[in-house]
Amino acid sequence: MTDTRPDPRIAIAFVVNDIATEKDDYSTIRLARKAAARGHRVALIGLDDFIYDWQDGICAMATLSAAEEFADDTAYLAHLQDESRGRERIRLAEYDILMLRSDPAEELTTRSWAPSSSLLFSQLAALGDTIVLNDPRHLTDAVNKTYFQFFPEAVRPATTITCQTEEVRRFLEAHGGKGVIKPLQGSGGQGVFVIDDNNRQNLNQIVEAVTRDGYAIVQEYLPAAAEGDLRMITLNGRPLKVEDTYACMHRFSQTDDHRSNISAGGAVEMAVPDEAALRIAEIVGPKLINDGMYFAGLDIAGDKMMEVNVDTPGGLNFIDDMSGIDFSGVVIGDLERKVRLRRQYGGTLDNRLLAMI
């Protein structure tokens, strides 16, 4: 089990889309609250808050947290969003950890420039002593679901990526007339459609809606998905586990809506990953490690992985609450360990290695 003993105070900054749009059921808020309760210096940075300073390097206008315990995530978020507290200018060189927790899909139609800009600032921050997670160089390659196609074929459903309706039709005809179509850059179950005999006549309109802001990804329908999916959290490229309990939950729909995402109204329960899910985690682990994807969420249905979330994997707070196990505290303890190792090696270890050891 990961060592969770508190180290001397460290400084952790979390990058989010916008502090004003954070919610009290986001895993980022839980992680930040756990860090604050351990006495660490915590800051939250929005995507448009970065500054490149000719003297101070990478800086940011940040919302700073009190280093104390809060009753719950709701109370903690209210503390962070209290406008009377204002923001402060910080130097990233003074922070041990920069944890990237923004969702690029939220910026697709309003601030498409913001995710890529923040990743470039983060890459510059990683040139110093700040450990940046997930590794920003490879997160740049993972800005949409095309990244998924770099994982071994054995774990992926058959897939087509296109803007062309006829290509979608061709794929469906080759896969029994049924499939799942969604935006290539999206999250939370937004814009996801199951295509079958009941709505094939509306295919043109569905493709038009999905491709309004870019490419569509079309995948074979996985029958196991009718029962929902597993969200398995990985840390350092391996399933996060405390004693005999995995950070893994079953997400399922309680309505006729096929989407099991929590943000789309799905329900959740703790789950024990079966042999197929653990095999998938074993197969995808080496690439997660190679790419510095420290904290990830694998979405699994049956013997296939439907998605891998490396930008802002959620659900850890729900898993904490359902299991009664402080997985979030384990993550913060692991960050403390990485800072300790960086200090012991005097800054000679590169960011990608620190991200995964």
Task: Give the CATH number of the domain where residue 245 resides.
Answer: 3.30.470.20
What is the predicted pLDDT for the residue at 204? 92
- CATH at 163: 3.30.1490.20
- Token pair of 134, please? 């997930």
Average the pLDDT over 239-256 and give the result: 89
Beta strands 241-242 and 238-239 are unpaired
Average the pLDDT over 42-55 and give the result: 97
Average the pLDDT over 36-54 and give the result: 97
60 and 19 part of one domain = yes
Tell me which of 82-91, 137-146, 214-223, 286-295 is least confident: 137-146
Residue 5: inside a domain: no
Q: Please say whether the beta carbons of 171 and 164 come within 8 A.
A: no
- Give the single-character DSSP code of 314: -
- Give the single-character DSSP code of 82: -
1: pLDDT strictly greater than 50: no
Confidence of residue 5 (pLDDT cuts 50, 70, 90): very low
Confidence of residue 4 (pLDDT cuts 50, 70, 90): very low
Average the pLDDT over 114-123 and give the result: 95
181: pLDDT strictly greater than 80: yes
Confidence of residue 2 (pLDDT cuts 50, 70, 90): very low
Number of domains, the chain: 3
198 and 312 part of one domain = no
264: pLDDT strictly greater than 60: no
Q: Please say whether the beta carbons of 148 and 298 come within 8 A.
A: no
What is the predicted pLDDT for the residue at 144? 79
122: pLDDT strictly greater than 80: yes
Average the pLDDT over 180-185 and give the result: 88
Residue 357: inside a domain: no
Beta strands 11-15 and 97-100 are parallel
The residues near 50 (Cβ < 8 Å, ≥ 6 apart) are 58, 59, 60, 117, 118, 121
Confidence of residue 191 (pLDDT cuts 50, 70, 90): confident
Residue 125: inside a domain: yes
Beta-bridge partners for 282? none
What is the predicted pLDDT for the residue at 143? 78
- CATH at 346: 3.40.50.20
125 and 200 part of one domain = no
212 and 318 part of one domain = no
Q: Please say whether the beta carbons of 165 and 203 come within 8 A.
A: yes
For residue 178, give its domain range: 158-221
- Token pair of 254, please? 């309680």
60 and 102 part of one domain = yes
210 and 261 part of one domain = no
Residue 74: inside a domain: yes
What is the predicted pLDDT for the residue at 3? 47
135: pLDDT strictly greater than 90: yes
Residue 240: inside a domain: yes
Mean pLDDT estimate for the chain: 91
Residue 337: inside a domain: yes
Beta-bridge partners for 231? 249, 299
Name the nearest CA neighbour of 220 among 183, 178, 252. Answer: 178
Residue 332: inside a domain: yes
314 and 230 part of one domain = yes
Beta strands 304-309 and 295-301 are antiparallel
Residue 77: inside a domain: yes
188: pLDDT strictly greater than 90: no
149 and 284 part of one domain = yes
247: pLDDT strictly greater than 90: yes
Tell me, yes or no, if the pTM score tops 0.85.
yes
